[in-house]
């Protein structure tokens, strides 16, 4: 089974972040931040991060333009202005990004997607990218890196179902979507960037 990882840089000291990557044999970081800069952790600004990773023999690839989560195109938004992950997944740019990731995995690169949020559950790397991979690349296993544990996509999906349990139509009386698909949509609406308010 092929693997891909995800990690959030949060406010980790850079050395601690590098250690997390090395402990999981990661040799390639794919930055999926739409804006690869941080107000709270400037050590993760694109140029500084690239340099530090290079010093530790870890490749840095920016793909926030293909796999990011901030959009203004009205065709990719819910009525309230929040980004609709399902619509994003249908775009050629996003799918080209997934293809590029998959080719990297096939070539043997040990890849981790990187965004800013420490908790994958609160980030589009789980609700947008990992959701698509888990559904469409069935030979790829997704692992989410934390300081003291590794969580599988399945474990996060179980948390997703638990969180939205009371809002899910289990009998399918009003929807043709599975409970998990409904939960993903509900999470999407809770965490997505809003093009009107410009907030996530």
Mean pLDDT by 10 residues, the chain (200 residues): 96 95 98 95 96 97 98 96 98 98 97 97 98 97 96 98 96 89 97 88
In angstroms, rounded to a whole number, what is the distance separating the alpha carbons of residues 199 and 83? Answer: 11
pLDDT tens string 85-114: 999 999 999 999 999 999 999 999 999 999
Q: What is the model's pLDDT at position 172?
A: 79
In angstroms, rounded to a whole number, what is the distance separating the alpha carbons of residues 178 and 40? Answer: 38
- Angle of helix 46-55 versus helix 14-23 axis, rounded to 10: 50
Q: What is the model's pLDDT at position 101?
A: 98
Q: What is the CATH number of domain 2-191?
A: 3.90.190
Q: What is the model's pLDDT at position 174?
A: 84
What's this model's pTM, rounded to 2 decimal places? 0.95
């Amino acid at each position: 089974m092929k693997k891909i990882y995800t990690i959030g840089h949060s406010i980790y000291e850079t050395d601690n972040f590098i250690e997390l990557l090395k402990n999981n044999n990661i040799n390639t970081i794919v930055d999926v931040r739409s804006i690869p800069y941080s107000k709270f952790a400037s050590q993760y600004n694109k140029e500084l991060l690239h340099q530090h990773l290079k010093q530790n023999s870890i490749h840095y690839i920016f793909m926030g333009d293909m796999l990011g989560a901030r959009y203004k195109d009205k065709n990719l938004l819910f009525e309230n202005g929040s980004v609709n992950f399902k619509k994003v997944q249908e775009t050629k740019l996003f799918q080209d990004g997934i293809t590029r990731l998959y080719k990297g995995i096939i070539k043997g690169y040990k890849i981790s997607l990187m965004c800013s949020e420490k908790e994958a559950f609160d980030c589009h790397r789980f609700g947008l990218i990992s959701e698509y991979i888990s559904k469409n690349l069935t030979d790829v296993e997704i692992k989410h890196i934390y300081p003291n544990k590794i969580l599988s996509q399945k474990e996060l999906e179980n948390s997703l179902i638990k969180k939205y349990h009371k809002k899910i139509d289990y009998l399918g009386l009003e929807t043709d979507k599975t409970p998990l698909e409904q939960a993903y949509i509900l999470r999407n609406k809770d965490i997505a960037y809003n093009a009107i308010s410009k907030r996530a």
